[in-house]
Amino acid sequence: NLLRERVFSFMKQYIFLIFISSLLLFSLTFGCSSSHPKKTHDHRDVSVELREKLDEKGNVIKKSFNHPYYFTGAGLAYMLSSVYYKGGGYITGKREKMVFQEEELQNIIPPIISAFSMANDSQDILVFSSPHYDFWVNTRSYFSMFITNNELNIVFSTIKSKKSWRTDGRALQMSTYWRNSNKRIFKDPLDVKRSSRWSLVPMEGQRFAPGRPNWLIIDLSSNLFGMAGSDNVSDNSIEADSSVRAIERKVRTNENVIEDKLRKLKVQKDEGLISKEDYEKRKKELLGKF
């Protein structure tokens, strides 16, 4: 009996020490934040945040991003639909696939456009996308976006990371806490160098940041994609508001024109009036004019 009591007492002390250690680790991990996120969109399938990096004293680390930026929906959709990666198993091999499918693009594009229009020159945009294509398997992508030198930077922490609903009951909660908990599984995209499970595939007009195969840089020289607002906004609040509205009107005009022309071009392809090769060639020529 004495031995049993000692063993029981030891187990209680051991459990207590584990609890204290876990509590301390949690406070160190989440109590001292190195960033200041501001959530702009929170939905079951996607969350978007504006994030400012902080130094050791809690001051904002100044950047030189070209923000705010006013994207067109058609322009951003074209760019994101042109982001490809390779990933797969050992049996099937790594196949080249689109990072974002049409349904996912419809969910993430509006909040991303909104976030870029609100961002300042020190804020990047963090996107956590978890589209529900399959009831049993939930894929997750986590990435940062920002603009420098008239180029869009997309930096991935993870792409299409799978989470099984069968093996993880937490996925059934479908709560904000669950989504935030999953985001903590992944590293800050800017701290990730590469992945052994996937790799981005640069297409025309795209390139990697030096030594960073998870970091894609896309040229924004075409007005189709949108306009930067930082150089067009006056310090005067009335003039600034007028300038922003003028930029947004021009962006919407470009978007409507390009969408109409692309729609007509697609109809010609679908009706067999032009070949798929001609369609792709004319689409590139059309996009190059904006």
Is pLDDT at 154 greater than 90 in this prediction?
yes
> Which pLDDT band holds residue 176 (cuts at 50, 70, 90)?
very low
Alpha helix (H) ranges present in the chain? 2-31, 73-81, 102-118, 176-185, 237-270, 276-288
Q: Are residues 92 and 124 in the same domain?
A: yes
* pLDDT above 60 for 125: yes
Structure tokens, 189 = 């995209």
Inter-CA distances, 232 with 67, 113, 147, 242, 255, Å: 11, 18, 16, 10, 19
> What pLDDT score was predicted for residue 23?
54
Express each pLDDT in 51-73 by its tens digit: 998 888 888 889 999 999 999 88
The stretch 75-104 carries a mean pLDDT of: 80
CA-CA-CA-CA dihedral for 97, 101, 104, 110, to nearest 10: 110
Is position 25 within any domain? no
| Tens-place pLDDT, residues 188-202 | 999 999 888 899 999
**Do 138 and 267 fall within a single domain?**
no
2, pLDDT greater than 90? no
Tell me the pLDDT of the chain averaged across its residues: 74
Nearest residue to 50 (alpha-carbon basis) of 189, 148, 146, 140: 146
> According to the model, what pLDDT value does residue 178 have?
45
Q: Is residue 214 over pLDDT 70? A: yes
Q: Tell me the pLDDT tens digit for each residue of 242-271.
A: 444 555 555 555 556 666 677 777 777 777
pLDDT of residue 56: 85
Tell me if 21 is assigned to some domain: no
pLDDT digits (tens, 9 = 90+) for 98-123: 899 888 998 999 999 999 999 999 99
Looking up tokens 């030189």, which residue turns up? 64
- What is residue 270's three-state secondary structure? helix
Q: Which residues pair with 146 in a beta bridge?
A: 153
% of the chain at pLDDT higher than 70: 60
Residues 269 and 218 in one domain: no
User: What's the domain count of the chain?
Assistant: 2
10 Å CB burial of residue 276 (0-12, 13-18, 19+) is exposed
Per-residue pLDDT reduced to its tens digit, 6-38? 666 666 666 666 655 555 554 444 444 466 667
Residue 12 is assigned to a structural domain of this protein: no
Domain that holds residue 226: 34-231
Residues 193 and 282 occupy one common structural domain:
no
Q: Tell me, what's the pLDDT at 290?
A: 46
| Residue 22 vs residue 212, higher pLDDT | 212
Last residue of a domain, one of 187, 206, 231: 231
Is 14 within the bounds of a domain? Answer: no
Q: Kindly state whether residue 242 falls inside one of the protein's structural domains.
A: yes
How confident is residue 240, by pLDDT bands cut at 50, 70 and 90? Answer: very low
Sign of CA dihedral 46, 51, 55, 61: positive
Dihedral angle over CA of 86, 90, 93, 97, nearest 10: -30
Question: In terms of domains, do 47 and 130 share one?
Answer: yes
Identify the DSSP state of 173.
S
